[in-house]
């Protein structure tokens, strides 16, 4: 499904900015239907497309990934991405030790993420991993800060840290609270993340059982303050895919989100 949200993140009189947020595609070569649905989102003509990681479930899906996301930037629309934990590791079957909290065997990264990232760059995307850059979007300069994945403890925010001025967006995969505080301290108006799958299995009235990180369950998907009391925003995508070994969602449909940043006063926020 396509979710549409307005985010009161701009100053008085600033024109709206439209962001298409994708996450957690977990592509396999057989996912042609999912790929076509994503490609069709080009009709939305956003000002920026953001993909927040977990693009792959196997190396053979790299060509499909490049075609899929390349369709969104083919007309010159800028796109930015960061990797997720499953861009480094192929999915494994659920392990009873994980469920019981015991130690897991050490693994070596076995997905060629460097090759996948290069294919996306060739398709017109910008790799934001441990990088801060400025893009001109809808006639204004927008600062973008990206990190590697906090779930793997690869986020090195100190490498990109620094106070931002004007409109700034943070991009990461896992919305770890330490990372959200750092983005907030530096003044990022909106941070985009994924990883949680929205909880993937949500119970009516109770919500998700887990976020697979230290983010509160109440913030497993959607829009919320970046930190407690902050005037800035976090958007967590419930994502479009899942592990091939757990291909089930309950009360949590796959999604992409069209975020429209608007002036705070427009929605009664100051």
Q: Block means of pLDDT (10 residues each) for the chain, length 270 residues?
A: 98 95 98 98 98 97 98 98 95 63 68 98 98 96 98 95 96 98 98 97 89 95 97 98 90 97 71
- Whether 235 maps to a domain, the answer reads yes
Which position has the token pair 């996948």? 116
- Whether 97 maps to a domain, the answer reads no
- Whether 195 maps to a domain, the answer reads yes
Q: Count the alpha carbons within 13 Å of 13 in the hemisphere toward its beta carbon.
A: 0
CATH code, domain carrying 170: 3.60.21.10
Whole-number pLDDT of residue 237: 98
Cα separation, 225 vs 8, in Å, equals 11
Return the structure tokens found at 138: 């809808």
Whole-number pLDDT of residue 229: 94
- Whether 114 maps to a domain, the answer reads yes
Domain count, the chain: 1
- Whether 134 maps to a domain, the answer reads yes
Give the domain range for residue 82: 2-92+108-267
- Whether 101 maps to a domain, the answer reads no
Whole-number pLDDT of residue 100: 45
- Whether 163 maps to a domain, the answer reads yes
Whole-number pLDDT of residue 154: 95
Which position has the token pair 């796109």? 79
Whole-number pLDDT of residue 86: 94
Whole-number pLDDT of residue 107: 79
Q: Secondary structure of the chain: what % helix, strand, coil (to 5)?
A: 25, 25, 50
Whole-number pLDDT of residue 245: 87
- Whether 50 maps to a domain, the answer reads yes
């Amino acid at each position: 499904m396509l979710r549409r949200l307005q985010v009161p993140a701009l100053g008085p009189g600033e024109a709206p900015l439209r962001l298409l947020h994708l996450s957690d595609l977990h592509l396999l070569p057989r996912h042609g239907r999912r790929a076509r649905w994503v490609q069709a989102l080009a009709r939305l003509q956003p000002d920026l497309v953001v993909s927040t990681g977990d693009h792959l479930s196997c190396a053979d899906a790299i060509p499909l990934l490049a075609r899929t996301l390349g369709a969104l930037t083919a007309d010159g629309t800028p796109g930015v991405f960061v990797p997720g934990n499953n861009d480094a590791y192929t999915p494994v079957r659920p392990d009873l030790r994980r469920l019981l909290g015991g130690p897991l065997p050490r693994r070596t990264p076995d997905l060629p993420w460097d090759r996948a990232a290069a294919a996306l760059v060739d398709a017109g995307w910008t790799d934001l991993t441990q990088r801060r850059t400025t893009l001109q979007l809808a006639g204004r300069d927008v600062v973008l800060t990206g990190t590697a994945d906090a779930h793997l403890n690869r986020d090195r925010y100190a490498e990109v840290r620094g106070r931002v001025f004007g409109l700034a967006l943070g991009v990461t995969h896992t919305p770890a609270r330490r990372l959200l505080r750092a983005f907030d301290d530096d003044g990022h108006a909106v941070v985009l993340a994924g990883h949680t799958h929205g909880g993937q299995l949500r119970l009516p009235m109770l919500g998700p059982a887990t976020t697979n990180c230290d983010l509160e369950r109440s913030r497993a998907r959607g829009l919320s303050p970046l930190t407690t009391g902050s005037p800035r925003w976090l958007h967590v995508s419930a994502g479009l895919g899942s592990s091939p070994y757990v291909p089930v969602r309950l009360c949590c449909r796959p999604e992409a989100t069209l975020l429209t940043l608007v002036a705070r006063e427009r929605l009664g926020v100051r």
